[in-house]
Amino acid sequence: MVQSDAATVDEYLAALPEERRAVMTAIRDVCREELPGFAEVMEYGMPAFAGEGTGGVAFASQKRYISFYMRADVRETLAERLAGHDVGKVCLRFSSPKRVDLDLIRDIARATAASPGPIR
């Protein structure tokens, strides 16, 4: 699933293969806990948490990995914590559901909530 046509996050998760649905739901739960005041939305065909006037996070089930998108300033702040992971400019990639690091996602969400940053 590269880009979904789902109108809601619930629809998005329901359409996932069972082996990915549990971890994607866990990612969603972490974001709900750590991003109070952020709106849960669908952006660019993936679940996202958007802040009022600030960037948030997004996540997606891709063909070959699970991706978690963050703001560039958060990536820079957590550079040491992200070392050793498959990280692009603003994307953290996990090669399988078993490799998803929910503690790392929690740290990213907390850093996002703690520091207002640019939307893009």
Is the pTM value of this prediction over 0.85?
Answer: yes
The CATH code of the domain at 9-114 is 3.90.1150.200
**HEC states along 12-70?**
HHHCCCHHHHHHHHHHHHHHHHHCCCCEEEEECCEEEEEECCEEEEEEEECCCCEEEEC
In the predicted model, is pLDDT for residue 109 greater than 90? yes
Quick: pLDDT tens for 75-97.
999 999 999 999 999 999 999 99
What's the pLDDT at 115? Answer: 82
What's the pLDDT at 1? Answer: 46
Quick: pLDDT tens for 7-48.
999 999 999 999 899 999 999 999 999 999 999 999 999 999
